[in-house]
Structures are given as C-alpha cells and as structure tokens.
Amino acid sequence: MDFCGGGLVSLVSLRRCSSGERPRLEPKTGLQLTFEFRSRHEEAVASQQITDFFGKNVKRVLFVPYALHDRDAYTQTARVKFLSLGYEVDGIHEAADPVEAVRKAEAIFIGGGNTFRLLKNLYDNRVLLEIRRRVLEEGVPYMGSSAGTNVATVSISTTNDMPIVFPPSFAAIGLVPFNINPHYLDPDPTSRHMGETREQRISQYHEEVDTLVLALREGCMLLVEGDRATLLGSTHARLFSRGKSCVEFAPGSDLSFLLTAAH
C-alpha cells in the first residue's frame, strides 16, 4: 500500500471518543495508530488495522491530499486502496467548502508528503480547528500517513521534511499531547555524512521545548485507544525526553503515560 506515490508510507489513526457515545473531552478517549511498513505482510497488517479502526459504521472517508502537489492523482491512489477495503473516498479538495466537508465527514484520512505544505494547506483552508473539533469532541476517526502523523501531534517541529513553503505556525492539530518523529533512523557508524543524526536533531528540539518525542522506526506502530497507548508492529520505538536519556520500547509496550499531561 502506497498512499504517497513516492514510496512513503506510514499511518496515524486517532479517535478521541466513540461517535456513538456522548462526547468525552478528556484526552483519555483516543486511539492513535502510526504504521510504517516495508512488505506485503506489513501492508496486510496495516490494512487490517484500517478496517479494524474505521469498522463497518464508516462508509465514506474524507481524504486530505494536501501534502502532495498532485492532489487528484493522490486522491485516486487512496480511492483505489480504500475501495479495496470497502470504503468510498471523498477528496477534501474536491469539495466546494472544505470546512463543510470536515463537518460532514464520517472519517478523516490525511495523506503523507511534505509536512510544511500539508500544514499550510490545513491553515489556508481553515480546516485545522474543525478537524480537531470533530475528532476531539465528536469522535470522528482520524487516520493519516507520515506527514499526517506529524500534523496529528502538538507541532510539526519534529518532521524530517524540507520547509518548502511557509505555514503561519508550526502548531499542528494537537490530537495527542506529544510529538512524533516518523521514519526514525538510527545513527549509521559507517557513514561519512557530516550532518546531524536524527537523534542530534531531536536533542536540539529539546533545547527549545520539553514536549516528548516518540521516534517510530520503520515497521513499528503506535496504537492509542481510549486511555491506553500500545506500541505495535515489528520494531522498537524510542522516546526522547528533555534532559533525560532516551528509552527504548519493544512492541507490546504500554505507552499510556504519553496520553497524560504529567509525564
């Protein structure tokens, strides 16, 4: 499954409260899934997560292709994939009123690409706060890939992308109270590259703020459901905290503490 067209695949899913229930505003009612996969097996697992997450009540998914330049092509790619899983797709860029499209959405999927372009488009189209409201207050399930992972967090300050356009802020949708670094790369001791390692870049971020950063290697997944956050997938994740050594978590680890304000 390739929702990006450029080989970039990772997923984030989030539902802060069940849509059939009375809205619950506290952050303990979330589900977040981040998945990056490199094989047909991983793709199958991710597809299963998508259908498990959206379930049978969702019939149509609002797809947000803002992170890529060719929105039509991107939406078509997503449409084919989602149709194979039993979901219709509406491209948000096809709607006359994108805010209204968010208001009516049964489910939201934000695709990957360039995080700066994605966030700028979310602001320019004034849908950022409406997505936040629908997910946090009305339980609309949210999924995304890669850049869609970054924008679901506190800010895009731990994206790996180039700042190709200037958004009005780096503040993101804020569906969870921490940041994620997707596609996390361990330092390569054989490399002659002299730029900073990913770890050094995240460390520089923590020289500025103390927001936790969960670094997801390719193949690992974070599932947040209700007040529980669980690491899934096939690889370990690293949690970076300001002024502390980073901690490794194996698949199956309980990361629920990430959802509380005090950590």
Q: Which residues bind its own copies (CB under 8 A)?
A: 6-10, 36, 38, 69, 113-114, 116-117, 146, 156-166, 169-170, 182-183, 185, 192-196, 200-202, 204-205, 207-209, 218
- Judged by beta carbon, residue 170 or residue 249, the one nearer its own copies is 170
Give me the least distance between CB of 183 and its own copies, in Å please. Answer: 4
Strands 32-35 and 11-14: antiparallel
- Judged by beta carbon, residue 104 or residue 201, the one nearer its own copies is 201
Give me the least distance between CB of 204 and its own copies, in Å please. Answer: 5
Render the burial of 225-235: b for 16+ CB within 10 Å, e for the rest.
bbeebbbbbbe
Could you tell me if 11 and 152 are in contact, meaning their C-beta atoms sit under 8 angstroms apart?
no
Distance CA 129, CA 174 (A): 10
- Judged by beta carbon, residue 58 or residue 118, the one nearer its own copies is 118
Render the burial of 65-88: b for 16+ CB within 10 Å, e for the rest.
bbbbeebeebbbbbbebbeeeebe
The verdict on whether 186 is a catalytic residue reads: no
Catalytic residue among 47, 146, 155, 157: 146
The verdict on whether 183 is a catalytic residue reads: yes
Could you tell me if 168 and 175 are in contact, meaning their C-beta atoms sit under 8 angstroms apart?
no
Give me the least distance between CB of 26 and its own copies, in Å please. Answer: 28
Number of Cβ within a 10 Å radius of residue 138 = 14
Catalytic residue among 10, 157, 161, 236: 161
Give me the least distance between CB of 195 and its own copies, in Å please. Answer: 4
The verdict on whether 161 is a catalytic residue reads: yes
Strands (E), 83-176: 88-91, 108-110, 142-144
**Residue 189 is encoded by which pair of tokens?**
């001791």
Could you tell me if 241 and 215 are in contact, meaning their C-beta atoms sit under 8 angstroms apart?
no
- Judged by beta carbon, residue 204 or residue 260, the one nearer its own copies is 204
- Judged by beta carbon, residue 32 or residue 146, the one nearer its own copies is 146
Tell which residue, 151, 218, 210, has the closest CA to residue 180.
Answer: 151
Could you tell me if 170 and 205 are in contact, meaning their C-beta atoms sit under 8 angstroms apart?
no
Chain centroid to Cα 213, Å, comes to 13
Give me the least distance between CB of 239 and its own copies, in Å please. Answer: 17
Annotated catalytic residues are: 146, 161, 183
